[in-house]
Amino acid sequence: MHLLKGLAGSDELEQEHLLETIERQVETGTMLVEDLMDITRINRGKIELRKEPIDLRQIIDRAVGSSRASIEERHHDLIVQLPADPLRLQGDPTRLEQILWNLLSNAAKYTDPGGRIHLSAEQSQGDLIVRVRDNGLGIPAEMLPSIFDLFTQIEHRRDRAQGGMEIGLNLVRSLIELHGGSITATSEGEGKGSEFIVRLPGLPPSTPPPARRTSLSTAREVPARHRILVV
């Protein structure tokens, strides 16, 4: 209401700024409610994954596109490193995109303007490994064990957060575990950035079925069959 009242009597530039602020807060509130509902569904066992064979590289492209606005707004340098070969897994495309979007948005939120975010993916020993690394605010060592707990807040992160109640990482961990995977966080300390490592079970590379071979010599030895009708 305070922002709406501010629209009256303000100039065009200020009105545009206030409208952008309102829109951003509405989007933040909507995402917060959706995340809370997802967590409630997961805790009650009422969330159902719609798994299908997919290439994780395509999901990464979609997540990067969804989070590009927040990254560009803070003038971050985003580096994406993907292999040439497919990264195949059995997963829910929507939920996997939600996982990666949360990690990228988290990196953008807690990295100073002009920072660097690096996203990479690879296949190792049958697993798909995704890394999201930034040079942002970092995580104190004593907070690493609880960083994925619901409503966990780090003091300096709370001061710098642009909305939200620190539920994204808890949701990310839950969705990853529903896919049979795991996530870990590492950091060298405050001000030294952080890295989130996602491990998901991959599918083996698809191989074409072996072609059926017919021996010509055997084919010639089989006598032709005829049907004879005697009246």
Is 138 part of any domain?
yes
CA distance 108 to 96: 19
Is 210 part of any domain?
no
Sign (positive/negative) of CA torsion 105, 109, 115, 121?
A: negative
Does residue 93 share a domain with residue 173?
Answer: yes
Does residue 158 share a domain with residue 76?
Answer: yes
Q: How far is CA 8 from CA 13, 14, 20, 78, in A?
A: 13, 10, 15, 39
Give the residue numbers spanning the domain of 142: 51-201
Is 183 part of any domain?
yes
Is 228 part of any domain?
no
Does residue 190 share a domain with residue 85?
Answer: yes
Does residue 136 share a domain with residue 26?
Answer: no
CA distance 61 to 125: 24
Is 134 part of any domain?
yes
- For residue 223, what are its two tokens? 């006598």
The confidence score (pLDDT) of residue 80 equals: 97
Q: Which residues contact 100 (CB under 8 A, 6 or more apart)?
A: 59, 60, 63, 64, 119, 130, 132
Sign (positive/negative) of CA torsion 165, 23, 27, 33?
A: positive
CATH number of the domain encompassing residue 70: 3.30.565.10
Is 206 part of any domain?
no
CA dihedral angle for residue 131, residue 132, residue 138, residue 139, rounded to 10 degrees: -60
CA distance 86 to 114: 31
The confidence score (pLDDT) of residue 23 equals: 66
pTM: 0.71
- For residue 104, what are its two tokens? 């990228």
Number of independent structural domains in the chain: 2
- Using DSSP's 3-state secondary structure scheme, residue 23 falls into helix
Is 137 part of any domain?
yes
The confidence score (pLDDT) of residue 46 equals: 67
Does residue 113 share a domain with residue 190?
Answer: yes
Is 224 part of any domain?
no
Per-residue pLDDT of the chain (231 residues; tens, 9 = 90+): 554 555 555 667 776 766 666 665 555 455 555 666 666 666 666 678 889 999 999 999 999 998 888 899 899 999 999 999 999 999 999 899 999 999 999 999 999 999 999 999 999 999 999 999 999 999 999 999 889 987 676 665 555 554 444 668 988 999 999 999 999 999 998 899 999 999 999 998 764 444 444 343 434 444 555 556 554
DSSP code at position 85: S
CA dihedral angle for residue 172, residue 177, residue 182, residue 185, rounded to 10 degrees: 30
Q: Which residues contact 79 (CB under 8 A, 6 or more apart)?
A: 116, 117, 118, 119
